[in-house]
Amino acid sequence: MRISRYLGRLLFISLGIFLLLNSYQSVQADTKSTNADYEHALETTPKGLNWDNNAFVLADFKAAAENRKRLGTNVGNKSNAAVRANSSMENNAEILHSSNPQNPDTSIIKMTNDTYQTGAVWSNMNTDNFFDISKEQKASFWLYLSKIDKYNQLAGDGMAFVLQNDPNGGNAIALSADGIPVNGQSLGVWGADWNTKNTDPKNLSKTAIQNSWALEFDTFVNYNGSTSSGEGVAFDYYLPNVYWGSRHIAGGYPALSSTYKLIPDVYNSFYMEHTKLAINSKIIDSNWHHVSITWNPINDASGNLSYAYDDKDPQTGKPIGNGSTTDFTIDTTNFELKNGSKKLYWGFTGSTGNYSENNLIVFESIPSYVDAEASAAVYDDSQGGQEVKDKGIVDSNDDLTYTYNLNYKGWTKDWNQINAIMEVPKNITFSSGTVTYPDSPTNKDARPIPESSFTNIANNKITYLLPEGLNDVSKNAIIKLKGKAGKSATSTLTVPSAHASFEGDNLITDANTVSYSIKPRALSLDSSSPNPINLKPNEDGNVPGQVSYVGTNNNPDYNNMVVHQTLNNTTTTLKNIIDSSGHFTLPINNKLLDKINTLSFYVTDSNNNTSNTINRQIIVGGNLAFGNVQPTVSFKPTNGSFRDQVIPRLGNWQIDIIDSREKGSNWTVQANASELSNSNKDKLKGHLFYRDLNGKDYDLKNNINVANNIKDIDDTQQKNITDTWTSNNGILLSMDKGNLVGQYTGVINWTLVDSLQYN
């Protein structure tokens, strides 16, 4: 048997080629104010990873200097006596813990918290902590850079996120020619402009961290040329509209001479090229700021790195903002990796000069440990299980399912001890839930979440420690919370977006549900019947119902209420079947039933009030069928027409299969797709394809098997075939360069086959 369903498809593609001067002055920072700010940072630390497992190493600056001398690479600009007097061979970075009682186990890197400091912390290659440029990955972390103190003194200099293949490895730091760690405007990664007689940018670049790329969070604008001590402090000399508050984020290659440009007639000082400069005066405000960094390889010689700044609320952990990112195309040949290696050190450097600054970091993910993603969706079970869209509407008292999908994508460690913390949104009540591991080798059945999780809700959140972790074998967990929409007789109720956080030993990630509204109704209708309702051949059905008034009606006239029933498109009006307490039963005659049947019913009263509608499917003798099939699906927008790329799906796709047959039955879903074109009938340069779990690709010009299943439970089984798809498998879009801006649409044809098929 083959059952086909056509799915209209919308693809949106947006194509486009889309420091206060920290000189060595005599003014000193206010230590009392700085320390108070430091304590404030520790007391307000957001939730992050605890990694007392040697995940990171503190660079040894003395070893770095000795190694450069041994390798004969101590070249560049030597430091003078004034600079050496304010420099130290000590790595001021320190690993400590939060003093926030809500997050006591969170590990923190303190990079600097006093004047003339330099810090560097790197991933520990010996514990499989590295950055693999051949694979997609994500790093997320919190940054704290302290504010200007109460005496209006300045703060500097900032920190940098760095990828590097420096010969010093885990001891890398920017070093002058005589082995002095470079502080001030260098941030510990850029070159040392410490010789006013130097006019060659190569001498400057050789003192930077070698074979590297850096994203700086610069809190001090350096634009005054040279100081009396002889060092240049003008890296920000040509910033647009430069002024004391032009703190900024920018990227660049510290070890390339092209990064540094000589400023004519300014004591032979250098300014620095700032790629993708973003002025941000709020970097220093005594608040934690969240940063997400995503890496996508392009080819063997390049990759795309994007970052989002301030994309989470530090108080709640909720994603905020419009999701905008800044993209860099990185030339990976500049890392000078040898012998086919793709692994880089990654970490942070930071420094201060004459002004003090609290620079701290908290990690939510370590790229090479665990890569996983969480997604969320809401379904209206009273309306046939259709997905509730953002700003959508449901009925009062509708049965709802909140679904959270966790997808483990790989890397070197398992994701264990996952604590699910799921917010209960206003006007929704949850009563039960399950967690399912569809790939588990031992137990694929839905496991109930304990009742206590729903009766002992603290801080309006359901907290549940998942019974299993995720790994290369069992990659997916599906959490479902069953609940009801609130009741209102006269006013529309708003259900806000609900935040869920999934906090494991090696990764913290989260997801937000949509926001929607609940329609007001004076009458509320419930039914305790399952969906679908399974009947044996020649068996009559009885569907229970309960109607009640919402509001203050103390004398309901149930005798005059009418039940409106529609069975397989035939509508029947039923009177005098509701008892004095609002209970009734719908009798279903088996002679009126086909193999698959649809039933809906609602109630009206003598005042023309109408209840919500209950929808049920009735299956006789077991059945295999499509359930909820999302009518329109899409792919993530893209902002570049200049390169070939693979585009992942946008959001959760819902392609449900309902199987009420006996245990051991099997099915396969096949798909094929048309070409995509815009409103001008310009065809997209690209095509839809299916990628299996082994990474093999199949063009969807022909019918391709995209999912299969063997029923392993006795009860009716409902599966969304996309639950196990990640951003790197399932149906994807291969897009070639050279496309026009616009929206492109096409059609996917789904076919359900009641047997296992093989490509």
Indicate if 653 and 598 belong to the same structural domain.
no
DSSP annotation of 331 reads: E
201, containing H or E segment: helix 201-205
Indicate if 610 and 630 belong to the same structural domain.
no
Indicate if 443 and 484 belong to the same structural domain.
yes
d(CA 164, CA 162): 6
Question: Do the domain assignments include residue 35?
Answer: no
**321 dihedral zone (left: phi>0; alpha: psi -120 to 50; beta):** left
Domain count, the chain: 4
pLDDT of residue 37: 85
Distances (CA, A) of 346 to 149, 164, 295, 366: 31, 6, 12, 10
Indicate if 182 and 125 belong to the same structural domain.
yes
Neighbours of 331 (CB within 10 A): 13
Indicate if 133 and 281 belong to the same structural domain.
yes
Q: The domain spanning residue 537 has which CATH number?
A: 2.60.40.10
Indicate if 318 and 291 belong to the same structural domain.
yes
706, containing H or E segment: strand 704-710
For the beta sheet containing 655-659, the strands, ordered from the edge strand earlier in sequence to the opposite edge, are: 624-629, 655-659, 717-720
The single-letter code of the amino acid at 404 is Y
Indicate if 411 and 433 belong to the same structural domain.
yes
Low-confidence ranges of the chain (pLDDT < 70): 1-34, 52-53, 72-85, 147-153, 225-230, 241-245, 265-267, 321-323, 552-554, 639-643
Distances (CA, A) of 156 to 37, 187, 463, 543, 710: 14, 9, 41, 71, 61
Question: Do the domain assignments include residue 29?
Answer: no
Query: 3-class DSSP state for residue 335?
Result: helix
Indicate if 491 and 584 belong to the same structural domain.
no
Indicate if 477 and 529 belong to the same structural domain.
no
Question: Do the domain assignments include residue 232?
Answer: yes
CA 429, 432, 438, 439: dihedral to nearest 10 degrees?
A: 100
Q: Give the domain-ending residue among 464, 488, 519.
A: 519
Q: The domain spanning residue 358 has which CATH number?
A: 2.60.120.200
* HSE-up of residue 350 (Cα within 13 Å, Cβ side): 31
Question: Do the domain assignments include residue 24?
Answer: no
d(CA 184, CA 357): 11
Q: Give the domain-ending residue among 463, 491, 519.
A: 519
**Strand 516-519 to 523-526 pairing:** unpaired
Indicate if 316 and 399 belong to the same structural domain.
no
Question: Do the domain assignments include residue 227?
Answer: yes
Q: The domain spanning residue 720 has which CATH number?
A: 2.60.40
> Which of 662, 663, 655 is CA-nearest to residue 725?
655
Indicate if 314 and 425 belong to the same structural domain.
no
Q: Is the peptide bond before 532 cis (omega within 30 degrees of 0)?
A: yes
Q: Give the domain-ending residue among 363, 383, 417.
A: 363
Number of helical H runs and strand E runs in the chain: 5, 51
pLDDT of residue 374: 94
Question: Do the domain assignments include residue 713?
Answer: yes
Question: Which tokens is 692 given?
Answer: 């299996």
Q: Name the residue range of residue 433's domain.
A: 371-519
pLDDT of residue 622: 78
Question: Do the domain assignments include residue 209?
Answer: yes
Indicate if 503 and 537 belong to the same structural domain.
no
Question: Which tokens is 567 given?
Answer: 């069975």
pLDDT of residue 173: 97
Question: Do the domain assignments include residue 235?
Answer: yes
Query: 3-class DSSP state for residue 64?
Result: helix
d(CA 334, CA 33): 42
pLDDT of residue 244: 62
Quote the pTM value.
0.74
Q: The domain spanning residue 388 has which CATH number?
A: 2.60.40.740
DSSP annotation of 181 reads: B
